[in-house]
Amino acid sequence: MAARTCWPAMALLAISCLQSTASAAPVACPVSISQGSLQLADVPQGWTSYVGSPLYLHAAVPMNGPPEQLGELSDFRQKRLKKGWVDTYRLDGKFPEGKWLACRYGGTGQLTLAMRLDDSIDSCTFTYRQGEHVGERNIAILCR
């Protein structure tokens, strides 16, 4: 009999645990953009294009709106680590065009892939470590 009365409480506890872990979901930028997916258009006459290697992830940042609006957020806290750093952004303000994640590729972030984030997210943490290729960074992203 006691097991029957405890079951609803255990079920509610399990549901609340699932909801809290679902709200803190890791987001991941693709590690690289393959050279096969990179193409140059409008190459000057007489020139031939060649892409010899992939572009590796260099940076990631939340944005206010889609990437063409250039709404990269600049207000963040930074913590230095022994072999990297952590940037934390608050995303609890108004975002009329939505909250977006921009993943930057190439040695100085020449190419961007972006995706819209869930509107309920109110902070993102980016943990940077040096990657194995020149200009590459391994970035762990956690948004809540």
The pLDDT, as a whole number, for residue 20 is 40
How confident is the model over 83-121, as pLDDT tens digits?
A: 999 999 999 989 999 999 999 999 888 999 999 999 999
Average pLDDT taken over every residue of the chain: 85
The pLDDT, as a whole number, for residue 25 is 63
How confident is the model over 2-28, as pLDDT tens digits?
A: 444 333 333 333 333 333 434 566 789
Asked if 135 and 107 count as a contact pair (C-beta separation under 8 A), the reply is yes
Q: Select the more confidently predicted residue: 134 or 2.
A: 134
The pLDDT, as a whole number, for residue 57 is 98
pTM summary value: 0.78
Sequence-ordered list of residues with C-beta below 8 angstroms from that of 133, at least 6 positions apart, any chain: 56
Edge-first strand listing for the sheet containing 137-143: 25-27, 137-143, 123-130, 84-90, 76-81
Q: In the numeric block, which tokens belong to residue 131?
A: 């990657």
